[in-house]
Amino acid sequence: MGMTSLDQFVEDRLLHGRAHFAREEALAAVDLKPESLTAAITRLVKKQRLANPRHGFYLILRPEDRMAGAPDPVRWIGPLMKRQGLDYRISLLRAAAFHGSSHQAAMVFQVLVPRQLRDFEIGRHRLQFVYQTPKAFAELNQPDQLDRMKSDAGFAQVAGVELTLLDCARYFHKASGINGVAQIAKDIGAKARPRVLARAAAAYANSSVRRLGYLLDRSGHARQANALEPFAKRAKTAVALDPSVRPLIESLPEIREKDTRLHEKDAKWKLVINECVEIDF
CATH of the domain at 48: 1.10.10
The verdict on 65 and 100 lying in the same domain is no
Distance CA 277, CA 261 (A): 12
Report the DSSP beta bridge partners of residue 265.
272
The verdict on 62 and 134 lying in the same domain is no
Structural domains in the chain (count): 2
Residue ranges for the chain with pLDDT beneath 70: 1-3, 104-106, 247-262, 281
Alpha-carbon distance values, 114 to 60, 69, 121 (Å):
28, 28, 20
The verdict on 66 and 81 lying in the same domain is no
Q: What is the pLDDT of residue 229?
A: 98
Q: What is the pLDDT of residue 17?
A: 85
Dihedral (C-alpha) 263, 265, 269, 271: value to the nearest 10 degrees?
A: 30
Distance CA 262, CA 272 (A): 8
* b/e code 61-92 from CB counts within 10 Å (16+ = b): beeebeeeebbbbbbbbbbbbeeeeebbbbbb
Residue 265: how many CB atoms within 10 A of its CB? Answer: 11
Distance CA 114, CA 91 (A): 13
Q: What is the pLDDT of residue 2?
A: 52
Q: What is the pLDDT of residue 253?
A: 54
The verdict on 178 and 201 lying in the same domain is yes
Strands 50-54, 120-122: parallel, antiparallel or unpaired by DSSP? unpaired
Q: What is the 3-state secondary structure (H, E, C) of the chain?
A: CCCCCHHHHHHHHHHCCCCEEEHHHHHHHCCCCHHHHHHHHHHHHHCCCEEEEECCEEEECCHHHCCCCCCCHHHCHHHHHHHCCCCCEECHHHHHHHCCCCCCCCCEEEEEECCCCCCEEECCEEEEEEECCHHHHHHHCCHHHEEEEEECCEEEEEECHHHHHHHHHHCHHHCCHHHHHHHHHHHHHHHCCHHHHHHHHCCCCHHHHHHHHHHHHHCCCHHHHHHHHHHHHHCCCCEECCCCCCCCCCCCHHHHHHCCCCCEEECCCCEEECCCCCCCC
**Would the CA dihedral through 71, 73, 78, 81 be positive or negative?**
positive
Q: What is the pLDDT of residue 151?
A: 84
The verdict on 46 and 131 lying in the same domain is no
- Asked whether residue 281 is assigned to any structural domain, the reply reads no
- Asked whether residue 280 is assigned to any structural domain, the reply reads no
Distance CA 99, CA 147 (A): 10
The verdict on 181 and 228 lying in the same domain is yes
The verdict on 17 and 145 lying in the same domain is no
The verdict on 220 and 101 lying in the same domain is yes
Domain ranges, residue 119: 75-273
